Structure 1
Amino acid sequence: MNRITITVTTPSEPACLQLQDALSDHLQALTGSSGRASFDPQAWGKNDFFLLAQDENQHAVGCVAVRSVSDTVGEIKRMYARPGTRGVGAQLLHALEAKALAQGYCSLWLETRRINQRALDFYLRNGYCIRENYGRYVGNPQAVCFEKTLVPPAEADGK
């Protein structure tokens, strides 16, 4: 697994913009949509956050955002790990879940496209369950929505 550092930052940092552009290019090629329309970094709420993963040489290798759906539900946006950075996505997701829980979120939701089998497998492998499509994804047969209930570490350990 890659050794990385994950920090809270803003989506407008140059390294974050580069990663988001790489994600958009990948999604455009895979699904025909860049996903840019579903993430507006200007509409940033007080409980929204953006994480940046960097390797030991300070190269940006991954990013992810959470935006508030409600006081207790966060939505995962712009999840991306550079190709060849095995394990970075899982590390980002775990850091995101811990931060979301600390900020009072009880569950996380997200959407990906049915054609994105790698993402579908990733979220299922990490404890996310398929849920009814929500918001702008209702009625979209290409969209698959997921959710995960966040459990404090002491409860997860059975204590």
Structure 2
Amino acid sequence: MNGKHITMAPTSPFSEEAIHLMAELSKTLKDITGSGGRNSFDPNDVCKDRAMFVIARDESGMPVGCGAFRPMDERTAEVKRMYAKVKGVGAGNQILSYLECQAREMGYQVFRLETRKVNETAISFYLRNGYQIIPNYGHYENRTESVCFEKKISI
């Protein structure tokens, strides 16, 4: 699979492919962190205005990853359910870049997200993509296992 042949399409998080990808992500997260992350994601949150769920596909049309964002306030959106099936081919970078672009077009200025401190691969991924560690926000505030990130996405 070559990263430059990946396409994105907004999709319902309730579609069969979306449910399958998110189940794979939850299993992967459970193996890494001990939690599948399902409790911090409501699919309905990415079906609202100024929100989005996308599936990435390779050149043969097979799903290779997903990602989403939901509004936090007028200027800030939260990244959710970021997943690339195969690591190291650029799918994650392309999904995140696509989400940032779509959010910017919707008027957002900032992206935020949370991951677990033990998920070193995710932490290095977000740092490489220009995200900075910030104080934990929302229901992550007093969770010592969490690390939160932020990136200004407006130009």
1:145 equivalent in alignment to 2:148: yes
| Alpha carbons 1:73, 1:105 under 8 Å: kept | yes
Q: CA RMSD in A?
A: 1.1
Deviation at 1:56, TM superposition (A): 0.8
- % identical aligned pairs: 42
Check the 8 A contact 2:51/2:71 in 1, yes or no. Answer: yes
Separation (CA, whole Å) in 1 of partners of 2:96 and 2:36: 21
Say whether 1:40 aligns with 2:32.
no
Q: 1:28 aligns with which of 15, 27, 30?
A: 30
Question: Partner amino acid for 1:110?
Answer: L
With structure 1 as the length reference, what TM-score do the two structures score? 0.92
Specify the code of the residue in structure 2 equivalent to 1:62.
G
SS at match of 1:46: coil
Residue aligning to 1:90: 93
Q: 1:83 offset after TM fit, Å?
A: 2.3
TM-score of the pair, normalised by structure 2: 0.94
Residues 40-67 of structure 1: per-residue CA shift (max 9 Å, x gap): 1134321110111001111000100001
Q: Is the Cα–Cα contact under 8 Å of residues 132 and 151 in structure 2 kept in the other structure?
A: yes
Residue ranges of structure 1 left out of the alignment (5+ in a row): 153-159
Q: Counterpart amino acid of 2:85?
A: R
Looking at structure 2, the residues matched to 10 and 60 of structure 1 have their Cα atoms a distance apart, in angstroms, of: 14
Deviation by residue 1:10-52 (Cα, 9 ceiling, x = unmatched): 1111111111000000011111111001111134321110111
After the TM superposition, which of the residue ranges 36-45 and 98-107 deviates more from structure 2? 36-45
Match of 1:156 in 2: none
Alignment partner for residue 7 of structure 1, among 6, 9, 13?
9
- Segments of 4+ in structure 1 off by > 4 A? none
Which residue of the other structure, out of 68, 77, 80, is the alignment partner of 1:77?
80
What CA distance in whole angstroms lies between the structure 2 residues aligned with 1:125 and 1:55?
A: 23
